[in-house]
């Protein structure tokens, strides 16, 4: 097992942006860009292993992405299934647990079934964690948490006066996963796009012009090196 570096980060979250632009620049269909981007996930996993990063969360498909053309959505769901089958052995070899967050019931049954199968087959690993955000939205997650809290209050299981930040955090999709220390967005865009709005409150941000299909181990290592040069104060004067 690789030990986490004493200066972190423990958890890296990535907005994988630029697949469509990468394909367009090469005169290729958008789905080819997504296929190329899938290779970058393996590179990111290798970099996390080498750098001692235990948690990697990837923004794979947002709740807003359902409005894309049906053919593209179907292609993305098929790509998800192929990715899971192709990388399952790699996950086992690296003792990596697959997790997923989001409104997973929205996924078509074949993709949801393959996802659940690989999550089950890797559930016993604790060394590293790959978290896929699928049919995910930060606002949707907070709304879902609020709904669960409201149900508990209505049932008399929770006093409204006890609803605090800890109560909200406990009702998020994966409350046992630590908040990201570092958020990376590729392709030069500098916005959150509804990603982990609660969890990124104190994360450091790194924006790179590199398109996701071109993102490799050296790019993640550069982002981590920059992170380690920063001084995180968490509200203190530091």
User: What residues have CB less than 8 Å from 147, skipping those under 6 apart?
Assistant: none
Assess whether 127 carries a catalytic annotation. Answer: no
With H, G, I as helix, E, B as strand and everything else as coil, classify residue 124: coil
Catalytic residue among 19, 50, 65, 236: 65
C-beta of residue 55 within 8 angstroms of C-beta of residue 174: no
User: Tokens at residue 173, please?
Assistant: 């999709």
Assess whether 94 carries a catalytic annotation. Answer: no
C-beta of residue 97 within 8 angstroms of C-beta of residue 130: yes
> In which residue are the tokens 């955090």 written?
169
Q: Which of 169, 142, 194, 214 is nearest to 13 (CA)?
A: 194
DSSP letters, 40-90, are HHHHHHHHHHHHT--EEEEEEEEGGGGGS-HHHHHHHHHHHHHHHHHHHHH
Query: How far apart, in whole angstroms, are the C-alpha atoms of residue 225 and residue 218?
Result: 10
Catalytic residue among 7, 17, 50, 214: 17
Q: What is the distance of C-alpha 42 from the center of its chain?
A: 14
For 182, list phi and psi in degrees, rounded to 5: -135, 130
Mind telling me the catalytic residues? 17, 65
């Amino acid at each position: 097992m690789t030990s986490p570096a004493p200066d972190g980060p423990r958890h890296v979250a990535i907005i994988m942006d630029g697949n469509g632009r990468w394909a367009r620049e090469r005169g290729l269909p958008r789905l080819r860009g997504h296929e190329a981007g899938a290779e970058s996930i393996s590179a990111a996993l290798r970099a996390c292993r080498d750098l001692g990063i235990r948690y990697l969360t990837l923004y794979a498909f947002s709740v807003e992405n359902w409005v894309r053309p049906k053919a593209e959505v179907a292609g993305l769901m098929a790509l998800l299934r192929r990715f899971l089958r192709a990388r399952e052995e790699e996950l086992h070899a690296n003792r990596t647990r697959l997790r997923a967050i989001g409104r997973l019931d929205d996924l078509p049954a074949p993709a949801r079934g393959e996802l659940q199968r690989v999550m089950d087959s890797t559930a016993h690993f604790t060394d590293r964690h790959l978290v896929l955000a699928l049919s995910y939205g930060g606002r949707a997650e907070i709304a879902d948490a609020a709904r669960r809290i409201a149900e508990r209050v209505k049932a008399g299981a929770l006093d409204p006066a006890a609803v605090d930040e800890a109560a909200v955090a406990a009702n998020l999709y994966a409350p046992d996963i630590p908040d990201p220390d570092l958020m990376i967005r590729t392709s030069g865009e500098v916005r959150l796009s509804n990603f982990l709005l609660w969890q990124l409150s104190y994360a450091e941000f790194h924006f790179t012009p590199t398109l996701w299909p071109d993102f490799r181990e050296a790019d993640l290592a550069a982002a981590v090196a920059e992170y380690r040069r920063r001084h995180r104060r968490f509200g203190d004067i530091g």
